[in-house]
Structure 1
């Protein structure tokens, strides 16, 4: 068997993608990466001078399609909620398939698709495993990230063995970028909220749980999946489209809020360490109408397939990482904070359930 081509088109060299570049280069892959801002491009070039950088956005359909079509491997790590960029990738994959060229495509989704409407009031006993793909297939089509995942799954079915396509669903990602000090989303946003309002935020009683994964454990998982896809037949890859990635620990949202309150109190930045419930009028300073599901819901999963491939987590846990690595950067920030500006979640069924509970009304 001939050696697989080792040319990678990486969309999104952010918290995940930037550190993934290092591992790919160490394994002799050539990298072309799509970068939105020239300042970020300079950072990537400084640390990874052999990486080829193209400037563009996720809305540059033809640019993404062309580079997907000219690379044997495409990894989308920019966002789980941008359908046009995924459609551009799939167009490039189809172009390759029409020409008889094989493709590996790894798409980054997330386990927000598993969230419930617990609103911090209880721990769910529902635990998903990627070894049971039928349970994941049954997730409502209007769940967070699911519209994008379904578009990929439809293309996967259509292309069959002409392309190898996998969806990786990381749990809550935490940690700081290794060379480019980017932060994750949930706990840093909760911390910025606390610094602005003087208390650590919690949704409901904070009794729901979220699985999590350190960014360095996650990028190693991408490499394990990529190598498995390279050595496996297209028929084998086609059997199961999903990989969860989690470190075996579950974080109670109230414990996260208590740690944020304790650390900010010790740093002299707030007067009371005790977490408080967030009134809905302050949701815009968290994640808007998605606050109850982004930082207050259950999302429980087991990445059994990665462990079967020999992957195991080895980084510090989420609260240790927060204290030691993320908090110092957060305390040094001086920008005005008005809530998370990106898309942390999606899904119309989430909003519908929140509206039914009267939780999306804001002043």
Structure 2
């Protein structure tokens, strides 16, 4: 490997990038990020010394070129964009053909991959284990995120990249780091705040069905640490780290029921004088369409396609 490790990050204005900037080996990193906002790109470049390229994920030639120029690609942005992932993989294939050294891809999926059709009515008996490769292989191709995950795994099977997949669960906590202070990073997650916004709009805490569904969760600092721990372990001893079908690493360290979340929202609303009782009531069909875009995405939460691990109204269990 060259003296500088070329790293291309997508969705790179948050906690993972902060950790790379503070990494003990940061002076050996040559980091490039793709940023849609020119003002944020300027801050990243001038204040943090990061190479920035202004562009969108729809500019596939640009994405392919950036991936081709990197020994390590960390995709933090898209779990469901097939053309975007194909562009990344095309760039990695070209790099491997040219240099002969398989590049690394750490891809962000989501535990929505494991979702069933609970709609808040029951708790599953199924326990998912990221060490159970056959269980992982048995997930239907129609599952959320699966189409992109299979592209990533096939790249490993074909041998032109070593691939690793992190499916985060519900991310909670308020991020506090230099990129937040600089105004280029959003300190909040998406999933639970969407339920809060819907509850405030209806002036009473809402829940999908009976709220019996539960989901794994992880603090923003812990999930960011996972990416760096995985990267460090790969670099230190690549042959001992599973990749491809064996390269699955669930991001979770706890769990919650959706009733618990909605009840806590209700209690806060009572404290603020917004409503008189904390007990959540089910979202109606009309409300799920109004607040989440459709009844179906109301079951999953409106942000499942955009945010890994966002699965309101669905449920599964994840064990390491």
| Residue correspondence of structure 1 range 1-363 to structure 2 within 5 A | 5-14=4-13, 18-27=14-23, 28=26, 29-42=29-42, 44-45=44-45, 49-99=48-98, 100-159=100-159, 162-178=160-176, 179=180, 180-233=185-238, 236-238=241-243, 240-247=246-253, 249-284=254-289, 285-286=291-292, 288=294, 289-293=296-300, 294-302=311-319, 304=320
Change (3 A) 1:84 1:273: same
- Cα shift at 1:158: 1.0
- Sort the Cα spacing of 1:262 and 1:40 in 2 relative to 1 into closer, same or farther, 3 A: farther
Q: CA deviation at 1:26?
A: 1.7
The answer to whether the 8 A contact 2:6-2:69 is kept is no
Cα deviation, 1:11-62, whole Å, max 9, x if unaligned, reads 1125xxx11111111221232111112244355457x521111111111111
* 1:25–1:31 Cα contact (<8 Å) kept: no
Instruction: Tell me the SS of whatever aligns to 1:54.
Output: strand
Q: Structure 2, unaligned stretches of length 5 or more?
A: 301-310
Question: RMSD of the alignment, in Å?
Answer: 1.9
TM-score scaled by structure 1?
A: 0.77
For the 8 Å contact 2:128–2:135, the answer to whether it is kept is yes
Mean CA deviation greater in 226-235 or 48-57? 226-235
Aligned partner of residue 262 in structure 1, secondary structure: helix
* 2-structure distance, mates of 1:85, 1:115: 24
Whether the 8 Å CA contact 2:205–2:280 is kept in 1: the answer is yes
Assess if the C-alpha contact under 8 Å between 2:266 and 2:278 holds in 1. yes
Q: What are the ranges of 5 or more consecutive residues in structure 1 without an aligned counterpart?
A: 305-363
Give the whole-Å Cα distance in 2 for the aligned partners of 1:236 and 1:250: 26
Distance in 2 between residues matched to 1:221 and 1:234, nearest whole Å: 19
- Quick check: 1:130–1:242 contact (8 Å CA) kept in 2? yes
CA distance in 2, matches of 1:253, 1:40: 35
CA distance 1:140–1:4, change in 2 (3 Å): farther
3-state SS of the aligned residue for 1:243? Answer: coil
Q: For the Cα contact (< 8 Å) 1:5–1:72, is it kept in 2?
A: no
Contact 2:120 2:210 in 1 (8 A): yes
Q: Which residue of 1 aligns with 2:308?
A: none
Greater alpha carbon shift after TM alignment, 181-190 vs 60-69: 181-190
Cα offsets for 1:151-196 (capped at 9, x unmatched): 111222112xx42211111111122232234321221000000111
Does the C-alpha gap of structure 1 residues 217 and 4 become closer, same or farther in structure 2, counting only changes over 3 Å?
Answer: farther
Q: 1:216 to 1:202 in 2, by over 3 A?
A: same
**Aligned residue-pair number:** 295
What is the distance in 1 between the residues matched to 2:273 and 2:30? 47
Instruction: Please give the secondary structure, in 1, of the residue aligned with 2:193.
Output: helix
1:112-166 CA distance string (max 9 Å, x none): 010111111111111101111211111110111111111111222112xx42211
Q: Which range moved further: 209-218 or 280-289?
A: 280-289
SS in 2 for 1:154: helix
